[in-house]
Amino acid sequence: MTDAIRIRAPKRFYAGLVLIGICLFVFWANHGMTLGTPRMMGPAMFPRILAVMIGISGAVLVLLSLNFDGEKLERFSIRGPFFVTLSIIAFSLTIRSMGMAVAGMLALTLSGFATPEARPREVLIFAAVMTVLSILLFHYFLGMSVKILDIPGTGIEF
């Protein structure tokens, strides 16, 4: 009789399950889209190919977690995912109405506090520098028609 299956690397095991979940979600999310052919790719081909590769990676991690010792699960903090998600929502709500200067600064500042080691002064300096670089890249170098700054009710618009 064989021994029961034992998870020897819990961190690797759960990471693999998350990747398999992402794969399944992508397949569910684009189920109505056409796959196309290798000569004429449809809108679902690239996401599905990536999903398959992610799913295979997840399956490999799960198998490795059963065969090799690895790290235990650490205590999970909600702080990182909370601030990163909040920054994405803030960016999406402000980019069109207030422009890249406000949206970029807001998103980068919020996401900077995802780590407990964040220092307000460093986060603000980083956010300002990255926002200026983003404006230069997207508006001036790439020529995208992204609004730079628009403060509603003041008439200030670039």
In the three-class reduction of DSSP (H, G, I as helix; E, B as strand; rest coil), residue 156 is classed as strand
Could you report the per-residue pLDDT of 19-63, keeping only the tens digit for each?
999 999 999 999 999 888 888 888 999 999 999 999 999 999 999
Report pLDDT digits (tens) over 107-158: 999 999 999 999 999 999 999 999 999 999 999 999 888 899 988 778 777 7
Cα 53 to Cα 18, 28, 62, 130, 133: the distances in Å are 13, 16, 14, 32, 33
Decide if pLDDT at 3 tops 70: no
Q: In 4-135, at which residue ranges do the beta strands (DSSP E only) sit?
A: none
Residue 147's closest CA among 83, 92, 100?
A: 100
- Radius of gyration (Cα) for the chain, nearest Å? 22
Give yes or no for a contact between 102 and 94, defined as CB atoms under 8 angstroms apart.
yes
